[in-house]
A and B are shown apart, each in its own frame.
Chain A
Amino acid sequence: AQSVSQHNHHVILSEAASLELGCNYSYGGTVNLFWYVQYPGQHLQLLLKYFSGDPLVKGIKGFEAEFIKSKFSFNLRKPSVQWSDTAEYFCAVTAGTWNTDKLIFGTGTRLQVFP
């Protein structure tokens, strides 16, 4: 069965520090990958997604992620975090080529950014 691993459960950074959150998935076939963000008290919302093409995808609020097929990874990055980036971040992957309606989510990474 497909699975998604987020090894960083809790990350604490100061403003202006660089961020990289890890995401690894288990499926060997074609995948579609997502990062969602949940700000405190708000809805889960899409940050960015990868379907095909350029493996470096850019999302909202200066975030980007790189799909590295050989490493089964889709790490999220931001060169300089802000206090407003404090949130929980979830990586997700579709459940297989012929079952693209459903997503499998990782356990999430809680990011705290201090001024």
Chain B
Amino acid sequence: DVKVTQSSRYLVKRTGEKVFLECVQDMDHENMFWYRQDPGLGLRLIYFSYDVKMKEKGDIPEGYSVSREKKERFSLILESASTNQTSMYLCASSFGTGNLEVPYEQYFGPGTRLTVT
């Protein structure tokens, strides 16, 4: 079974703090993703990585950065947390499609509910 784990289920941080969210997958997937999930807005892609040290901005990258030093690990960094970053953060991974047109399923972690006060 594919397993995607996230470092914390719940996190409370103060405004201005630097926050690290960690995600690890055990299926040797090329792709890893960070989403935020907000009521009424669905899932919005923050950043996407298709290989080690490679990253691509998603739809809402402002205020976030990412790091992928190893294939299995993808970190989301909030450089200076703000209250509008209070949200559920979901990590996902999938095999890369390469030149194929058929996408591979994304597997999701349990999520980290971040509260910034």
A interface with B by C-beta (< 8 Å) = 6, 9, 30, 32, 34, 36, 42-46, 49, 51-52, 90, 94, 97-98, 100-103, 105-108
Closest residue of chain B to A96, judged by CB?
Answer: B101
Is B105's CB under 8 angstroms from A49's CB?
A: yes
Most buried by A among B35, B43, B50: B43
| Residue among B41, B48, B101 making CB contact with A100, cutoff 8 Å | B101
Is A106's CB under 8 angstroms from B42's CB?
A: yes
Is B108's CB under 8 angstroms from A101's CB?
A: no
Closest residue of chain A to B48, judged by CB?
Answer: A102
Is A9's CB under 8 angstroms from B96's CB?
A: no
Interface of A is mostly: loop
Closest residue of chain A to B38, judged by CB?
Answer: A107
Q: Return chain B residues, CB-CB under 8 Å to A30.
A: 101
25 pairs, CB–CB < 8 Å, chain A vs chain B: A6-B42, A9-B40, A30-B101, A32-B102, A32-B103, A34-B105, A42-B110, A43-B108, A43-B110, A43-B111, A44-B92, A44-B108, A45-B108, A90-B43, A97-B101, A100-B101, A100-B102, A101-B48, A101-B97, A102-B45, A103-B103, A105-B35, A105-B44, A107-B40, A108-B40
Closest residue of chain B to A108, judged by CB?
Answer: B42
Q: Report B35-71 residues with CB < 8 Å from chain A CB.
A: 35, 40-45, 48, 50, 58
Is B106's CB under 8 angstroms from A103's CB?
A: yes
- A94–B94 Cα distance when bound, in Å, is 13
* Interface check B25, CB cutoff 8 A: no
Q: Return chain A residues, CB-CB under 8 Å to B45.
A: 102-103
Is A101's CB under 8 angstroms from B31's CB?
A: yes
- A45–B105 Cα distance when bound, in Å, is 9
- Nearest first, the 4 closest Cβ-Cβ pairs linking A and B are A107-B42, A100-B103, A44-B108, A105-B43
